[in-house]
Amino acid sequence: MVMQRGGCVYIITNKTNSVLYTGVTSDIISRIFDHKNKTYPQSFAAKYNCNKLVYYLFYAHIEEAIAAEKALKGGNRQMKVKLIEELNPEWKDLYDDLLKD
């Protein structure tokens, strides 16, 4: 039997909310920690100082999260902004909220 593992789609941005980065992970807290600490300095997110978590959505299966990420990446900026503003109208960093759960 294959072990099913959940996943999470997320969007991070920079201080001025001008750059959006969409990603997928099975460990959102560790992944955002990596972004905040520029663990991978050559990455897109590090180069553009994207370290503010403004959107995330959990899925029961990682495959669903990967499919959702592909759909988001295929969409335009307006679509992403709409998603963010529905969940997080103030564009505040949601990382600390994750740590409380």
Neighbour count for residue 25 (Cβ, 10 Å):
18
Token pair belonging to 43: 């990455």
Q: Which domains does the chain have, with CATH numbers?
A: 7-100 (3.40.1440.10)
- Phi, psi for residue 28 in degrees, rounded to 5: -60, -40
DSSP notation for the chain: -PPP--EEEEEEE-TTS--EEEEEES-HHHHHHHHHTTSSTTSHHHHTT--EEEEEEEESSHHHHHHHHHHHHHS-HHHHHHHHHHH-TT----HHHHHH-
Please tell me the pTM assigned to this model: 0.93
Per-residue pLDDT tens over the stretch 6-57: 999 999 999 999 999 999 999 999 999 999 999 999 999 999 999 999 999 9
pLDDT at 40: 95
pLDDT band at 100 (very low <50, low <70, confident <90, very high): confident
